[in-house]
Structure 1
Amino acid sequence: MPAPDDRLTPQQRRERVVRRAALAKALIAAREQAGLNQSQLAQASGLSRSAIVRLERGDASISSDRLWDLARALGTTPSQLYAAAEADEAAAQTLE
């Protein structure tokens, strides 16, 4: 479970927003590449459509188990999704 925002420093909160946005872009790109809409991805992955929406808006985090389910439904791997997110310059800078 992610830490509540009030337990994070301002820097950690900013990084969380940037990282979630980068993963959101990666998920959207992978979903579109797979030719799926959000409802189809939800059905194929076992996540709810509302969970998909929150992830794609960058409003939520995801457990490693659920990321594996999403990756399988998208025909990719968790590492490829993370690599796509890490390719985002702002997200990569959070690792420095």
Structure 2
Amino acid sequence: MGSEWIIIIFVALVLILGTNQLPSAARKLGKAVNEFNRAKNEVQSQMKNVSDSNLDTSEPMETERQKLEMIAKSLGINSKEKSDDELRKIISDKMGPKKTDSSENKI
């Protein structure tokens, strides 16, 4: 079923562009696809670098403090000289209000 559409599109392109312009149109399409793939790969590479550099979760967290410090680091919060409660409050404020289920708000 899909091959039929490819044949129909190919015949339509030959009729519209003619046999002389078809190779140049194919080259332009190939260059556009290549550029798109290059940009996609670059964005994926940057996302991987950002995620790898921000969070190192290769080892399990042993304490609550380590978890808080990891979250604070990912949010750009300086965790030194702050108590656990202060960190929780700052993280909570930075992440925004907690979303509630609409069914809980019904009277």
When normalised by structure 1's length, the TM-score is 0.28
Q: Give the structure with higher Rg (CA).
A: 2
Higher RCO structure, 1 or 2 (CA under 8 Å, sep 6+)? 1
